[in-house]
Chain A
Amino acid sequence: MHSLSAPLSKPGWMRELIAIWGYAQRNYYLTKRYFMWEVVWLVYSTMNALTIGFIGVGLGGSPEATARTTTFLLIGTMVWSYLSMIFDLLSETVSWERWEGTIEYTFMSPASRTTQLVGMGIYAIVYGMARVIVMLVAISFFFDLSLGSANYLGAAGILAICSISLVGFGMVAAVMPLLSPEKGQQVTSIVTAVLLLISGIYYSVEVLPGWMQPLANISPVYYALNGIRNTLLEGASFGSQWDNIWPLLIMGLIFPPLGLWLFQRGEHFAKRTGRLKRAG
């Protein structure tokens, strides 16, 4: 008779924890193997941030006004760089596996979808943070920033809450490539572009046409940016940002379970219609 090895006799929660670590570790291995591309993207993102910072400098005005405008723009750039990274990594979970040809192996393994998405989410947060820190160090050599009264802890708190909403938002978007392998990926790219437009990354949402402004209310990035700008530029306390925090908390509570539920429905649909297979 077959001797059962350790994994079969381990409790379920332990197997899931090992698998979460597996997903995070696999992504680390991939980052290492694609290191030169990572460097290219980091250089590109840093140059992009510098370009946007110099737009602030080019607008002129008093040194204080210039520092404030530049800081406003760079906060938008950095926060977007971090949050869009989380969103992209999560929303591309399925497309990536399809492209590599591993989707069937992953989906027939006993690790749950929650485990997969949590593992991807944890890596996305850590990786996104590391990237932003490197970018921050680079741009700090170029600009005088208006951060004299910044409340860094408050900003970090808001960013942390928003990260959870974005992981959930990414899960919602990740279902698209399950429903339609090619069109799904196209839709997630459009979602990223719409978030960029409506969230007030480089400008206040008040400059948007009147009909477009309410759309910002459904973007977690909008609330995160408002809160982070207030804490960094004005030194506002974390508690005073409740108007920006409660929508993020609600989205953080709704999006991850909604994303998981949708993902499971999408997986069921893909298994029924035979769409769980490699492409590309």
Chain B
Amino acid sequence: MTIEQVQNSRHALELRDIEKKFKKGRKGYANALNSVSLTLGRGEVVGVLGPNGSGKSTLIRVISTLTLPDAGEVEVFGIDAVRHPKEVQRYMNRVSVEASFFKKLSSMENLIFGAKLYGVSDRESKPRIREILEGIGFDYKRVNEPMEHLSRGMQQKIALARALLTSPLLMLLDEPTTGLDPRSKKDVQNLIERIRADHESSILLCTHDMSEAEELCDRIGILLSGKLIALDTAEGLKRQFRTSDQLPTLEEVFMVATGTSLEEAEFAGEDDTLPEDEAKAA
């Protein structure tokens, strides 16, 4: 597959009937993903809403080649991601709920290392690091401070900057604003909007924040117990699940679609031990 073919592919991502089970206890299995199908167009932002334990992180892991599906097909820019993981890894990057950095290293050191894993040399990365960090309002004087001295909001911005350094065509965002204070949350959301506008990346955003999904996403899916039970624009979902003359809020849509509130679903999800860190991440 050439770069031109990748650039010209119609979809950034296509999932067809993805199944994933994890062993639970001695004999049992838990369904993490149950026949999930999804298409993400070029430059599109699709959100996946779901409570803890619904399979959001497993979905992101399957796409990012960190977990192998039991069945189904994952295509990234037309390339089979299960059979050719190295081919697709070049074109995507991921930001997860926990900013995964070497905490003793500085932002600069972490960013230089992250860039090199994608074949970006010092000469290319250093000027871009400055440009990106200044662009996201990071105080460049702090670039040599250990990551552990930075707030979680700052760390999450650095995580987005690290992804941007590798010019990903597909961004996988796994609850990037969970646990952030309102100001940091807004900053990160603004940054995601800018990434979309300036870099024309396709974005899959997993979140359990209704307003975030509505604000940032072209289409929104609802994932419950590993099953994608709805996928449409926010307006489309509201029309689909309206119960009165008035259009419901996205929260009401979630309740009608799942038969439960997000809080109740999260409570139930926390008891579901499938991918352990999904509950931990909350």
Q: Are A271 and B68 in contact (CB under 8 A)?
A: yes
- In terms of DSSP, what is the predominant structure of the interface of chain A? helix
Q: How far is the CB of B78 from chain A (nearest CB, A)?
A: 15
Q: Are A8 and B100 in contact (CB under 8 A)?
A: no
- Give the complex CA separation of A100 and B109 in angstroms: 15
Q: Are B120 and A18 in contact (CB under 8 A)?
A: yes
Q: Are B98 and A102 in contact (CB under 8 A)?
A: no
Whether B267 sits at the interface, judged by CB under 8 Å, is no
Q: How far is the CB of B274 from chain A (nearest CB, A)?
A: 8
Q: Are B102 and A18 in contact (CB under 8 A)?
A: no
Interface residues on B, range: 35 or more
How many interface contacts (CB-CB < 8 Å) are there between A and B? Answer: 133
With both beta carbons as reference points, the residue of chain A lying nearest to B159 in the complex is identified as A105
> Which of these, A7, A14, A25, A108, contacts B167 with CB under 8 Å?
A7
Whether A137 sits at the interface, judged by CB under 8 Å, is no
> Which of these, A7, A33, A274, contacts B104 with CB under 8 Å?
A33
Q: Are A112 and B86 in contact (CB under 8 A)?
A: yes
- Give the complex CA separation of A105 and B61 in angstroms: 11
Whether A104 sits at the interface, judged by CB under 8 Å, is yes
Q: Are B119 and A19 in contact (CB under 8 A)?
A: yes
Q: How far is the CB of A100 from chain B (nearest CB, A)?
A: 5
Q: Are B105 and A33 in contact (CB under 8 A)?
A: yes
**In the assembled complex, which residues on chain A have CB atoms less than 8 Å from the CB atom of B100?**
100-105, 278
Whether A166 sits at the interface, judged by CB under 8 Å, is no
Q: Are B113 and A2 in contact (CB under 8 A)?
A: no
**In the assembled complex, which residues on chain A have CB atoms less than 8 Å from the CB atom of B260?**
none
Q: Are A25 and B113 in contact (CB under 8 A)?
A: yes
Whether B197 sits at the interface, judged by CB under 8 Å, is no
Seen from chain A, the residues whose Cβ lies within 8 Å of a Cβ on chain B are 1-10, 14-16, 18-19, 21-22, 25-26, 29-30, 33-34, 100-112, 268, 271-274, 276-278
9 A-B pairs whose Cβ atoms sit less than 8 Å apart in the complex: A4-B167, A7-B115, A8-B167, A10-B119, A22-B113, A29-B113, A30-B104, A109-B118, A277-B277
